Amino acid sequence: MKTRFCRLSGGPEDEEIYREAGAIIREGGLVAFPTETVYGLGGNGLSGASSAKIYAAKGRPSDNPLILHIAGMEELPALVSDIPDAAKRLAEAFWPGPMTLIFRKSSLVPPETTGGLDTVAVRMPSHPAAQRFIRAAGVPIAAPSANLSGRPSPTTAKHVREDLDGRIDMILDGGPADIGLESTIIDVTEETPVILRPGYIGREALETLLGKVELDRAVFAEPAQGVKPKAPGMKYRHYAPKAEMTLVEGAFAAEAILKEAAASARAGRRTGILCSEETKDRYSPLAEELGAEGFSLKLFCAGRRSDPESIAHRLFGLLRQFDEDGIEVVWAESFDEGGIGTAVMNRLRKAAGYRIMRT
């Protein structure tokens, strides 16, 4: 299949592109589109056949449900069997935006879209291109992240192309995603709302609005502990670069990283350090020293610790960069939890396959 690549300008001249994208969806095809979190791979969410195509294009296990994307509140009632009070308040506060809510589904939503569950995930993205695309399609858009299963979620149209060129009908390029991490998923079907996947909207902000909000125990449990996550997708190996990545935690992380990175580089392995603006100068003399000896140590700066959003924004791009640069071993700093930091650490632990060194 030939994949059409369309760059969006943001102006009225994009109208024709949206019209074509909408027609592709109605005919059962697949279109990747930008959102404020990451790029999505969209199909007609009310068609079981379209959802089946999404799983096939991504190589995604079919028990891992998709998120339905809507453009306005008026689209919600048809998709769900009821709208709990907490959902109304959350939607009022955070939609359109980086938040996904789990509802009991209506009979309109096919089982393929929800991986056979009787619940459905719904999100209203704020990105203007996502909004225009959904409106042009005229149906709710089922969309997981637009990456091959197991790869980091795409934050640019180039990432989408790397993974899905030739496998889908169209890619809409709206520039880099603002946030860079997937939405916060909240289950509102229980008495107390439960965060199934941490994201940009942190637990603190949700508790300010709703009182008590729980975090699914599986979010920070290693798979070996056998806690079954409520979001089926959270059980899969994810985001992992080809490199063997170790997350180094604790007060003496920098010292440990210096020692371990020097050892891996001197053992002849292409080594990377994932660090921050505030700490990178601690490692650069070592990188120079090893370079002079003919070994390879490269620094990857994720962003500023003082600005966790900058780290979220760059993280997935860096995980892909490791592979592009042929890095074999990564020693990664860890970051403060709380707010979006909780989501950053959740993704990093998964990317490291739970290989964690505590100092």
How far is the CA of 190 from the CAs of 41, 176, 217, 278, in angstroms?
Answer: 29, 35, 15, 42
Q: Pick from ligand AMP, Mg ion, none: which does 202 bind, CB < 5 to 8 A by kind?
A: none
Nearer to Mg ion, 60 or 270 (CB): 60
Cα–Cα distance measured from residue 234 to residue 334, given in angstroms and rounded to the nearest whole number: 20
Question: What is the tally of helices (H) and strands (E) in the chain?
Answer: 10, 16
Residues 58-77 interacting with Mg ion (rule: CB under 5 A): none
Binding-site member from 232, 276, 310, 321 for ligand AMP (CB under 6 A): 232
Binding-site member from 67, 297, 312, 315 for ligand AMP (CB under 6 A): 67
Binding range to ligand AMP, per CB under 6 A, among 28-36, 61-69, 248-256, 321-329: 61-69
Can you say whether the dihedral through the CA atoms of 154, 157, 163, 169 is positive or negative? positive
Binding-site member from 25, 71, 102, 329 for ligand AMP (CB under 6 A): 102
Residues 127-166 interacting with Mg ion (rule: CB under 5 A): 144-145
Side chain identity, residue 299: L
Q: Is 101 in the site for ligand AMP (CB under 6 A)?
A: no
Residues 103-122 interacting with ligand AMP (rule: CB under 6 A): 114, 117, 119-121
Q: Pick from ligand AMP, Mg ion, none: which does 64 bind, CB < 5 to 8 A by kind?
A: ligand AMP
Burial class (CB in 10 A: 0-12, 13-18, 19+), 157: buried
- Spell out the alpha helix ranges (H) of 15-100: 15-26, 48-58, 85-94
Report the candidate in 340, 57, 11 with the shortest Cα–Cα distance to residue 178.
340
Q: Closest-CB residue for Mg ion?
A: 145
Kindly state the number of chain residues that form the binding site for ligand AMP, as judged by CB under 6 A: 20
Q: Which residue has the tokens 């060194």?
A: 357
Q: Is 196 in the site for ligand AMP (CB under 6 A)?
A: yes
Work out how close the CB of 263 gets to ligand AMP at its nearest, in angstroms, rounded to a whole number.
36
Q: Return the axis-axis angle of helices 128-137 and 15-26, rounded to nearest 10°.
A: 50
Q: Is 201 in the site for ligand AMP (CB under 6 A)?
A: no
Q: Pick from ligand AMP, Mg ion, none: which does 232 bind, CB < 5 to 8 A by kind?
A: ligand AMP
Report the candidate in 148, 325, 156 with the shortest Cα–Cα distance to residue 243.
325
Tokens matching residue 104 = 């009991």
DSSP structure class, residue 310: H
Residues 256-315 interacting with ligand AMP (rule: CB under 6 A): none
Nearer to ligand AMP, 64 or 321 (CB): 64
Q: Pick from Mg ion, ligand AMP, none: which does 271 bind, CB < 5 to 8 A by kind?
A: none
Q: Is there a contact between 340 and 183 (Cβ–Cβ < 8 Å)? A: no
Q: Pick from Mg ion, ligand AMP, none: which does 43 bind, CB < 5 to 8 A by kind?
A: none
Binding-site member from 231, 286, 302, 348 for ligand AMP (CB under 6 A): 231
Kindly state the number of chain residues that form the binding site for Mg ion, as judged by CB under 5 A: 2
Q: Is 100 in the site for Mg ion (CB under 5 A)?
A: no
Binding-site member from 97, 144, 339, 341 for ligand AMP (CB under 6 A): 144
Binding-site member from 3, 64, 279, 321 for ligand AMP (CB under 6 A): 64
DSSP structure class, residue 80: B
What residues contact residue 210 under an 8 Å CB cut-off, 6+ apart?
A: 86, 89, 90, 193
Q: Is 184 in the site for Mg ion (CB under 5 A)?
A: no
- Spell out the alpha helix ranges (H) of 211-301: 253-266, 280-292
Cα–Cα distance measured from residue 293 to residue 34, given in angstroms and rounded to the nearest whole number: 44
Q: Closest-CB residue for ligand AMP?
A: 233
Residues near Mg ion (CB under 5 A) are 144-145
Q: Which residues bind ligand AMP (CB under 6 A)?
A: 64-65, 67, 102, 114, 117, 119-121, 144-145, 182, 185, 196-197, 230-234
